[in-house]
Structure 1
Amino acid sequence: MRVNKKKKRPVTNPTPASHKKHKLTDSVLFTRRAIITLLGVLTGVFVLLSRAYYLQMTKHDFYRTKSNQNRVRLQVSPPLRGNIFDKKGRALTENILSYDLVVNRSKTENLDTLIEHVARYMRFDQNDRERFESSKKKKRHTEAVVVRADLSETEMSRFLVDLYQFPGFEVMPSYKRHYPYGHLTAHIIGYINNTNQKDLDALEAAGKAKNYLSTTKIGRTGLERQYESELHGQSGYSEAEISRTGRTVRVLNKVDPVPGDDLYLSLDIDLQAIFAEELAVNQYDGAAVAINPNNGEIMGMFSNPSFDANLFVNGISHADYQRLSESPRKNLFNRALNGNYAPASTIKPMLSLAALHHYVTTPDITIDCSGSYRIPEHEETRRFFCWKRQGGHGAVDNYRALVESCDVYYYTIGKALGIARIHSYLSQFGLGKKTGIDLPSESPGILPTREFKNEKYNTNWFIGDTINASIGQGYMVTTPLQLAQFTAVLATKGKAYQPHLVTHYRPASRSDKVKKAYPEPTTVEQNNPNAWQSVSEALIGVMTDKMGTANKIEVNLPFDIAGKTGTAQVFSFEEGERIAKDDLEKRLRDNSLFIAYAPAEKPEIALALVLENAGGGSERAAPKAIRMLERYFALKSSE
């Protein structure tokens, strides 16, 4: 049987509908992927362009500053501090070029280890370590701290060779403040020393912080503190382009610092030396102050004992500070400005003037002194003794009362005046208030009133308090500067000038000196036309009258001196109690005072001297003060 086989046709690849669908899908996916990729690329380009715009336009100033910090160095230059000169142009301060090793703690690691290595290159003893640690505590972390000040040339050279091993460390030029007269001017000139956080906060609050970026020193005491703004000057700066190695390529901008003003004083360093030398004899603790009565200029002012201000400039060591601060003689204490002493009989000339002004007495009225005084309305109360107890002074008028320093006379006129009128009149001479001298931290003393005692001690004022005040005892205390000030007023017969030290200043912008202005003098009231002459004659009589309290002192001068002694009691005795002076502890012995002006007829110097626990004024202070005046006038005549 024949079987017909069908002839097979060649197989072709038909394109079914499903395949066409797949082909379409692949095309779409490719297109979509291309678009997504393109969008991604465009997004990336956009982000990059946006970032570039942000960096180059929006943050241009910020990053330019950052870039400049990498290649531009800003160096702040300290101003040269103004100097201080005495009346004759002698420098009382100096600026000596020196070099300090400083460290910025924010730019270094392992500070303690590096500090230990410093000792290999220079002296770095315990005192240096203490100063560094103390300074470090007072500075912000980003501020330079002095590691060692005043390097020698050898120390500096050795360290600079290996400076690269000490990141954050630099050797910086500076000017070291030096006080050539040391202890002679310490309480007046004062000193500068390292700034602390309190200083920086105060400068920031005053808007002056930027002017102190280049220095670590500030006036701490005395004139250095009082005239800090004038002496400091204005900082300068320079912007320099530097290479990667730190080498200066070129200076972009520079502003020179402006030196501080120079100050010129009325102080005579020769007179200051006389005061110091005379007080050193017998090692008297006390103070001497001299004023030109015709203008209020301070001619000399010395507090004994003193100290060397140079110790404080770079930070005083703990041992030195402890020695000074714990000394029983109180070297750091300025007795001239802050010592409070009962003025004793030195105020009697002013009591006489007050009584004459208020017509309580006249120059000729006499009062009988029997050696003691009882308050008439209170005969049963205690007696107030005159220093001359045995027999007293007899009948004394104003002249005799001052010449012999009769206490009973002043008890009598003091009671008649009353404390209100005593306070009102003596305040015209500057008692009970600050003198206004151009120095910081001045004591006002105490010129008591009823209100003062009530507020201070919550008790009433008694007539016995007035009696004590009448001879400069009780609650009344004055500073040596106030003693000199009222002596100057006595010398001018009532003109009261403000005491001051700075007479001229010279800004860096000028070659000539500028006179410093002070208030016009005030005038003490006086109704009695004979009062001033009466008191002046009596003060001369203290020195020349055979009964004068300072008559026994030999005076080698071709003119008269007007003076008044004072013996201030620091320890009270019961009535009738008597103790020999030599049996008292030194701290309980009387203070010795003396005031004087000379020449008596044409005064050019008013002097006050206080010697602590030295005894009677006529025995100790008066001879010492006369010797000071003799030496001053001898020096003046030799010039």
Structure 2
Amino acid sequence: MSERRQPSGVRVRGRAPLASTAGRIRILLLALAVFFSVAGARAVQFQVIDASDRAKEAAQAMKVTRELQPLRGSLLDRDGKILAFTEATVDLVVHPNIIAGKGTDVTKASDADKADGVKIVAAFVPVIARCTGLPADQVKAKLTEKAADGSLKPYVKLMTQVGIEVYNCIQADPVTDARRNGIGSSLNWVVTKEPNPRRIYPMNTVASNVLGYVSDGKGGAGLELGLDATLTGTAGQEIYASSRNGKIPLADSTITPATNGASVTTTIDSGMCWQAQQLIDKQRADMSLEWGFTVVMEVKTGKILCLADTPSFNGNDVAAVAKSNPAALSNPAITAPFEPGSTMKMLTLATVLDAGGATPDSITHVASYADGIKSGNNTIRDSEQHGEVDYTTRGILVNSSNQGVIQLARSTFSSKGAAGKQAYIDYMTAFGLGQKSGIGLPGENPGVFPVDKILKDSYTMDSVAFGTSLSVNAVEMAAAVNAVANDGVYVAPSIIASTTGPDGVAKTVPAPVTRRVIKSTTSKDMLGMMENRVLVSYPVIGIPGVRTAAKTGTARMNNDLVMSIMGVAPAEDPQVLVYTVFFQKDSHAGAGIKVAGPVYHDIMSLAIQRYGIMPSANADQYCMLQPLQAGESPKKKC
């Protein structure tokens, strides 16, 4: 029988050609070889080539950067006594939600960890209470404090600005370090610390309005604000490895140290300021005055020895003052301009004498109080009633005659038209009026010296001459009159003596700006006239044995009174200037001699003793009051 053959091209099910199978195996083996080669290469790269990079990335992920705060520089008085310094205090912080979970957020903690969290609170309450002095129930409340939604808070300040010894006390306790109470782990994370330095003012209210205060680490007012960049320093940083429980011990870290702020030595005499503060505080309280201040200045140098305001404040308790009496935090002696009143007559008469418009003994006929003197649409009168009188220039100053000063200013300056008025303006500009004193205290307001109105309006020129229609601050006015006393030379006032950097190197401030304003002979004439003003009220403002020269002032602004007096000692060679001012709203308290005079007297007496001012030679012969009116003879007054 013939054999049957399979038709060509028909595949038999279940069998494959041997050549085809072998080819597929070869392809599979090749693919596997390629796969394992690539995988092996990647493994080598992963384990060897990238290992160091990955290690760096992991380490970097554990790195923490912490700012290192510099220590704020101190403020010192002229003798190096500390007025303000910074203590490196800390805030104590707890995390109730972490404590309750034994180091883990309580919402993710196991029941066992939550049970240990209860033990941690129980163990730490007596420790923290003992180290901080807080009541135990208050401590427990902090450790378990809840938010408004009832969840445990993640962050609670246990105490603020405490000494590092309090934190160390907690960390040193056996409960913190030893594994006890069945908790089985170190608990140094329960209470942590955050730097929060505390500014301390050891003399409390002394020069507080000048020093200012610090808020959230930055100057908020006074020298603390004006010198903030100098006092602050430069922050540093620490980069370190950290775990859940904080910094990893013995791990590498990089530290860039902070640069502490510079310390600043002021010209302030803290002893003088303390005594002056007591005096102005007492007078304000006794007479129910609104505010007041006193300036004590070294005549030859312009250095401010004391600038005291009342009310003042305690820099150690600024938060309480801000709530109870925020106005006390200001420094009205430089920020609140006022009309100087009759103390301005010292400047006007100095320019009159210097310009040759009069001498101390020149006679000026002054109309009666009833007639006064016409000025524009107004009639200006003296403060007290009198008939017609022939005053000497000395008498005009001593009797504080508004009418007499206006007449002399007119005859010397206004009568010469715009050029004459400009000459008066130039004098006052040289005295520093209408300009910031440059003392370095923030917020200084120089007030207004109305140049344009003086040139255009005769009434403004007249009223400025005797102390109204302009405004000044206390330092500005003190520096102006100081020029009259200082042989006619203006010395820019200063309150900063030097700065000392963290390297211990001291740098003195540049010498103050000086300029001659009036002649030396004019200065002497003015001091003689001012000395006669003291003789008229000798029991109130005179100092036995020492010649002094002064002028009182009273200004009324919308029924409010500004009562003042400014004087120097000794009159023959001035060394110290005292300016005392009080302000009272809606008051009839009285003139400057009555309100400010007694305080001025006591402060000047203290200054004379404190700064070694010797008794004046032949003081008795200067107790003769020189003629104030035509035809008078000298009179002994002390």
Structure-2 separation of matches of 1:504 and 1:34: 87
1:569 is matched with: 556
2:221 is matched with: 221
Would the aligned equivalents of 2:207 and 2:306 in 1 still touch at CA under 8 Å? no
2:540 corresponds to which letter in structure 1?
A: I
Give the percent of matched residue pairs that are identical in Structure 1 and Structure 2. Answer: 17
2:428 is matched with: 426
Would the aligned equivalents of 2:212 and 2:329 in 1 still touch at CA under 8 Å? no
Change (3 A) 1:78 1:358: same
TM-fit CA distance, 1:440: 1.2
2:547 is matched with: 560
1:323 is matched with: 324
1:294 corresponds to which letter in structure 2?
A: K
SS at match of 2:462: helix
Q: Verify: 1:623 aligned to 2:598, yes or no.
A: yes
SS at match of 2:540: coil
TM-fit CA distance, 1:22: 2.7
Summarize deviations over 1:459-492 as a string: whole Å, max 9, x none.
Answer: x953222222111112x11111122211221111
Structure-1 separation of matches of 2:375 and 2:343: 28
Change (3 A) 1:110 1:445: farther
Q: Verify: 1:150 aligned to 2:151, yes or no.
A: no
Change (3 A) 1:376 1:238: closer
Residue of 503, 515, 518 corresponding to 1:522: 515
Structure-2 separation of matches of 1:426 and 1:106: 69
Structure 2 portions without partners, runs of 5+ = 99-103, 108-116, 140-154, 178-185, 415-420, 615-638
Summarize deviations over 1:89-109 as a string: whole Å, max 9, x none.
Answer: 211123334332247999996
Structure-2 separation of matches of 1:557 and 1:443: 37
Q: 1:449-464 to 2 correspondence within 5 Å?
A: 449-450=451-452, 462-464=457-459
TM-fit CA distance, 1:448: 1.0
Structure-2 separation of matches of 1:271 and 1:110: 60
1:280 is matched with: 281
Change (3 A) 1:244 1:609: closer
Would the aligned equivalents of 2:239 and 2:255 in 1 still touch at CA under 8 Å? yes
TM-fit CA distance, 1:606: 1.2
Residue of 608, 612, 628 corresponding to 2:579: 608
TM-fit CA distance, 1:218: 1.8
1:100 is matched with: 91
Structure-2 separation of matches of 1:421 and 1:79: 53
Q: Verify: 1:296 aligned to 2:298, yes or no.
A: no
Structure-2 separation of matches of 1:562 and 1:34: 116
TM-fit CA distance, 1:24: 2.4
Summarize deviations over 1:409-456 as a string: whole Å, max 9, x none.
Answer: 11213334245443322121111111000211111111112269xxxx
SS at match of 1:184: coil
Residue of 484, 489, 497 corresponding to 1:495: 489
2:555 corresponds to which letter in structure 1?
A: A
SS at match of 2:265: strand
TM-fit CA distance, 1:632: 2.4
Summarize deviations over 1:81-135 as a string: whole Å, max 9, x none.
Answer: 2212212221112333433224799999689xx9xx999656599x99xxxxxxx
Q: What is the aligned length?
A: 543
2:336 is matched with: 339
1:77 corresponds to which letter in structure 2?
A: L
1:188 corresponds to which letter in structure 2?
A: V
Structure 1 portions without partners, runs of 5+ = 1-5, 129-143, 195-216, 453-459, 572-587
Would the aligned equivalents of 2:373 and 2:381 in 1 still touch at CA under 8 Å? no
Structure-2 separation of matches of 1:102 and 1:427: 57
Change (3 A) 1:553 1:445: same
Summarize deviations over 1:207-248 as a string: whole Å, max 9, x none.
Answer: xxxxxxxxxx12222222222222223444455567886452
2:32 is matched with: 37
Structure-2 separation of matches of 1:387 and 1:35: 119
Structure-2 separation of matches of 1:365 and 1:411: 15
Would the aligned equivalents of 2:76 and 2:83 in 1 still touch at CA under 8 Å? yes
TM-fit CA distance, 1:596: 0.6
Q: 1:88-487 to 2 correspondence within 5 Å?
A: 88-102=79-93, 121=128, 123=134, 148-151=159-162, 157=169, 170-172=192-194, 175-194=197-216, 217-238=217-238, 246-249=247-250, 252-282=253-283, 283=285, 284=289, 285-312=291-318, 316=319, 320-325=321-326, 330-372=327-369, 381-391=377-387, 394-416=389-411, 417-418=413-414, 420-450=422-452, 462-474=457-469, 476-487=470-481
Residue of 498, 519, 531 corresponding to 1:540: 531
2:160 corresponds to which letter in structure 1?
A: A
SS at match of 2:89: strand
Would the aligned equivalents of 1:240 and 1:249 in 2 still touch at CA under 8 Å? no
Change (3 A) 1:244 1:342: closer
SS at match of 1:287: strand
Structure-1 separation of matches of 2:244 and 2:189: 16
Q: Verify: 1:64 aligned to 2:65, yes or no.
A: no
Structure-1 separation of matches of 2:88 and 2:375: 73
Would the aligned equivalents of 2:70 and 2:261 in 1 still touch at CA under 8 Å? yes
1:263 corresponds to which letter in structure 2?
A: V
TM-fit CA distance, 1:560: 0.7
SS at match of 1:553: helix
TM-fit CA distance, 1:503: 0.8
1:265 corresponds to which letter in structure 2?
A: T
Structure-1 separation of matches of 2:356 and 2:386: 30
Structure-1 separation of matches of 2:515 and 2:580: 24
Summarize deviations over 1:333-390 as a string: whole Å, max 9, x none.
Answer: 3121112211011011211122234444444442211234666796xx4421111323
Structure-2 separation of matches of 1:395 and 1:168: 87
Change (3 A) 1:554 1:33: closer
TM-fit CA distance, 1:273: 1.3
Would the aligned equivalents of 1:306 and 1:332 in 2 still touch at CA under 8 Å? yes
TM-fit CA distance, 1:54: 8.1
Summarize deviations over 1:175-199 as a string: whole Å, max 9, x none.
Answer: 42210111222111112121xxxxx
RMSD of aligned residue pairs (Cα, Å) = 4.1
Structure-2 separation of matches of 1:429 and 1:603: 18
Would the aligned equivalents of 1:487 and 1:607 in 2 still touch at CA under 8 Å? no
Structure-2 separation of matches of 1:296 and 1:109: 64
Structure-1 separation of matches of 2:386 and 2:49: 103
Structure-1 separation of matches of 2:445 and 2:405: 27
Structure-2 separation of matches of 1:271 and 1:180: 16
Deviates more, 1:429-438 or 1:275-284: 275-284
TM-fit CA distance, 1:49: 5.6
SS at match of 1:590: strand
TM-fit CA distance, 1:638: 11
Would the aligned equivalents of 1:415 and 1:463 in 2 still touch at CA under 8 Å? no
1:414 corresponds to which letter in structure 2?
A: A
